[in-house]
Amino acid sequence: MDITTLVSPENVIPNLKATSKKQALQELARHAAQITGLNERAVFDVLLDRERLGTTGVGNGIAIPHGKLAALPRLFGVFARLERPIDFEAIDEQPVDLIFLLLAPESAGADHLKALARVSRLLRDRSMCEKLRATSTADALYALLAASEAQAA
């Protein structure tokens, strides 16, 4: 599963402005809805439902909110670098500043899990996260994400 099949340059937000977890999820849902044509509220509700099961703040300043939507034709991602770290109720209780939103069709099954695993591997790389945090433009962030594919191959 390539990161570049999940995220395109227009799905990279270099300075997401949010002061709370809910606001970050709302902004990500709004962006995803604009790109996919899905209903913004439906995307937001799926993300909130998943958060109720347990936080997607995986630690080290990273969150991977995710969910499944019937109307989605393929796996879809949005990467955001927050303007300021926010409380995301992460498992390590540290604020989050890097978010990778992953949406999948309800029929995705194993592909959804493979995509989650790929995103998780990418963001477990401390060096990669340092580079992402030091980069402030969408094009440069996308280039880093795309370059991670070459390293993983």
Q: What CATH code is carried by the domain that includes residue 43?
A: 3.40.930.10
The pTM of this model reads 0.94
Is residue 149 over pLDDT 70?
Answer: no
Determine the pLDDT at residue 152.
52
Distance CA 112, CA 67 (A): 9
Which domain range does residue 109 map to? Answer: 3-152
Q: How many domains does the chain have?
A: 1
Instruction: Report pLDDT digits (tens) over 73-116.
Output: 999 999 999 999 999 999 999 999 999 999 999 988 888 899 99
Write the pLDDT tens digit of every residue in 33-70: 999 999 999 999 999 999 999 999 999 999 999 999 99
Can you read off the two tokens belonging to residue 85? 């770290």
State the maximum Cα–Cα separation within the chain, in Å, rounded to a whole number: 37
> Which among 66, 81, 112, 118 is annotated as catalytic?
66
Catalytic residue status for 31 = no
57 with 88: CB under 8 angstroms? yes
